[in-house]
Structures are given as structure tokens and as C-alpha cells.
């Protein structure tokens, strides 16, 4: 027997939908919300009792926009265009994180005729699982599988972005390059698995020195690693490189005591500059690389600093 297609029936259908739905009128007042919308509102501190006056969706967006929420600014602008008939639909992907959970949604809005008047359906679809999968793939594409550090692709993009930002603000930018001494001999003597274990241990040590959000540790290539230090001057960068150099000494025994590995050492090149228009991040890499090979020529296991003009 077919159900009676009454208003209650259609409300039950809409309430069964997992997406959060609301309907607004031409003034952006909310005239209807479904069960998913009400449940989400309750779980996130929304009003429990029925309000005495209509809730205006645009005003909610504008209050968030006043606090600098870029997504609220975009939503308010898109909904106004939709209400004025300048666009047929509006959609936006946005984050909605809580202190305990990261979430992402897609907002979709489109017109709907009801009782001869224009209304608009707003739908919020939870895309958290898809977004987390995308972020995981993205992270894997930017991470070196052996060491867990940023890979060369990530390093290049990060350095270019940091270079541009420091050029705008006139801030110093330092780069540390380090290369494991006699790494080929270690591989030939103890095998590539031991060599890999040494690189992984070195990466964990280097990661402990990435203390600020703007720092980046990367596997630059082979047994060569890098540390980008935004806003750090030459003296402090050289001092940090020296601390790392001393910590690397004796790391061999920690990798596998049964192998009785000799002490590991590494050579360091440090370069610092204040990026200027017409310059390029490659000049900083070249300067650090020259300092690194100077350290190699002078006997390894030491820190050398590039002449500042070389990096400028």
C-alpha cells in the first residue's frame, strides 16, 4: 500500500537525510531546518528552544565575517548573489574544526519556489572522511618514506614560499645543509639496511630541532639533509648547526649496539641572507652548498658558514 503523500510524509523523508538542510526566504530568515541540522546545532552549542524571532542566516555569517572568518565572508557574498538572482547556485568547501576533532563540509545553496515565493535551500554535507584521505595522500606526496622528513619537492616549494614572504618583510632567512661523512663506506661495510637505519635515526634527531611552526627539516637527497630556519640570523643558525653536529657524534652506537658502528659524523654548511627583489632562493642553496663542501675539504665533521654576500 502506497503511503499518503502528505506534508508529514515529506518532512519525515527530509528528516531521514544525513545532510543538514535549511530553507531561507528572500530576507535570509531561516524558515525550516531538518533533523540533522537540529542535531548538529545541539551538539555544537546551538539554541535548544524555539527562538522568539526568526534567525537570519546572513547575519550569522556577517558576525563570523566581522571576526575575520574568510569562509563566512565568501558565504555571505555568495548567498547575496544567489538571492539577487545573479547566480543559479552557490557552493563552498570549508573547515569546521572543534578543539577535539577536525571536520570539513561543503555548503551548497540553490533556489526553491514555494507558495509562489522565492526560497533557498542550504545544504551542509560532511566530507571529513574524504578530506582526511586527501590530506593523507597529499602528506605522503610531500614526505620522504625512509626518514619521515619533508622530501625534496616539499623542500623546494616551502623554501620558495618562505623566500617570497621574507622578501616582502625584509627578514633574515637561514639554511643549514648537512651531509653524513663517509656514508658510502658505511653502506659498503655494514650494508644498506644499516645505512637506512642511520639516516632514520639522524632524521629523528633533526626533527627535534624543528621547534617553530615556520621551520622545516627535509631530506635534500641521498645522505644529505636540510633545515630551513625563517627569521634566524647567521650567528644563531651556526650555533644550532654546531649543537646538531655534536649530537650526531656517537649516534652510530644508538642505531644498533650489536654492530659496534663507529661514531657517525656529518659536515655542515650554513648560509643566511635577507631576500631581495631580483634574487632567488637558489642562491641561498648554492651558498650553503659551498660552505658544506668547504667543511668537507677541511676534514669533515665541522660547521662552515657561507660569506653573507654569497647568499644575497
Known catalytic residues are 223
| C-alpha to C-alpha distances, 45 to 20, 28, 68, nearest whole angstrom | 16, 21, 21
What distance in Å separates the CA atoms of residue 293 and residue 298, rounded to the nearest whole number?
9
Q: Which residues contact 225 (CB under 8 A, 6 or more apart)?
A: 147, 149, 177, 178, 179, 202, 203, 206, 217, 218, 219
Residue 26's SS3 state is coil
Residue 25 C-alpha from the chain's centroid: 38
Instruction: Enter the C-alpha cell of residue 170.
Output: 625584509
Helix axes 70-84, 57-66, angle to 10 degrees: 150
What distance in Å separates the CA atoms of residue 276 and residue 166, rounded to the nearest whole number?
9
- Are 255 and 197 contacting, i.e. CB atoms less than 8 angstroms apart? yes
| C-alpha to C-alpha distances, 286 to 213, 239, 289, 292, nearest whole angstrom | 25, 20, 5, 10
Longest Cα–Cα distance of the chain, Å, equals 91
Amino acid at each position: 500500500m502506497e503511503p499518503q503523500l502528505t506534508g508529514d510524509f515529506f518532512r519525515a523523508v527530509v528528516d531521514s537525510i544525513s545532510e543538514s538542510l535549511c530553507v531561507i526566504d528572500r530576507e535570509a530568515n531561516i524558515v525550516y531546518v531538518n533533523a540533522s541540522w537540529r542535531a548538529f546545532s545541539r551538539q555544537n552549542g546551538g539554541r535548544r528552544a524555539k527562538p522568539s524571532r526568526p534567525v537570519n542566516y546572513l547575519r550569522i555569517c556577517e558576525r563570523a565575517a566581522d571576526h575575520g572568518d574568510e569562509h563566512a565572508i565568501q558565504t555571505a557574498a555568495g548567498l547575496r548573489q544567489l538571492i539577487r538572482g545573479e547566480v543559479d547556485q552557490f557552493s563552498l568547501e570549508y573547515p569546521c574544526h572543534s578543539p577535539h576533532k577536525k571536520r570539513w563540509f561543503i555548503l551548497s545553496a540553490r533556489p526553491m519556489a514555494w507558495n509562489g515565493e522565492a526560497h533557498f535551500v542550504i545544504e551542509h554535507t560532511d566530507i571529513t572522511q574524504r578530506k582526511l584521505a586527501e590530506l593523507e595522500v597529499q602528506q605522503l606526496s610531500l614526505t620522504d618514506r625512509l626518514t619521515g622528513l619533508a622530501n625534496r619537492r616539499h623542500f623546494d616549494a616551502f623554501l620558495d614560499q618562505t623566500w617570497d614572504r621574507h622578501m616582502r618583510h625584509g627578514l633574515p632567512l637561514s639554511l643549514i645543509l648537512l651531509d653524513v661523512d663517509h656514508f658510502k663506506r658505511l653502506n659498503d661495510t655494514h650494508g644498506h639496511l644499516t645505512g637506512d637505519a642511520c639516516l632514520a635515526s639522524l632524521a629523528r634527531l633533526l626533527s627535534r630541532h624543528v621547534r617553530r611552526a615556520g621551520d622545516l627539516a627535509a631530506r635534500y637527497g641521498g645522505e644529505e639533509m636540510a633545515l630551513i630556519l625563517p627569521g634566524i640570523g647567521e650567528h644563531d643558525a651556526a650555533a644550532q648547526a654546531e649543537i646538531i653536529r655534536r649530537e650526531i657524534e656517537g649516534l652510530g652506537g644508538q642505531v644498533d649496539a650489536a654492530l659496534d658502528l663507529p661514531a657517525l659524523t656529518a659536515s655542515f654548511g650554513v648560509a643566511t641572507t635577507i631576500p631581495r627583489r631580483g634574487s632567488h632562493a637558489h642562491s641561498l642553496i648554492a651558498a650553503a652548498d659551498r660552505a658544506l663542501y668547504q667543511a668537507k675539504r677541511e676534514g669533515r665533521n665541522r660547521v662552515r658558514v657561507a660569506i653573507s654576500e654569497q647568499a644575497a
